[in-house]
Amino acid sequence: MFGLFNRSPEKKLQADYEKLSTAAFEAQRNGNIRLYSSLTAEAELVRQKLEALKSPGAA
Q: What is the pLDDT of residues 22-58, one digit of tens each?
A: 999 999 999 999 999 999 999 999 999 999 998 876 5
Residue 20, pLDDT > 80, answer: yes
Distant-in-sequence, close-in-space partners of 42: CB < 8 Å, separation ≥ 6: 20
Are 46 and 10 in contact by the 8 Å Cβ rule? The answer is no
Amino acid at 27: A
The residue ranking higher by pLDDT, 55 or 21, is 21
Do 27 and 35 touch, CB atoms closer than 8 A? yes
Q: Delimit the domains of the chain by residue range.
A: 9-54
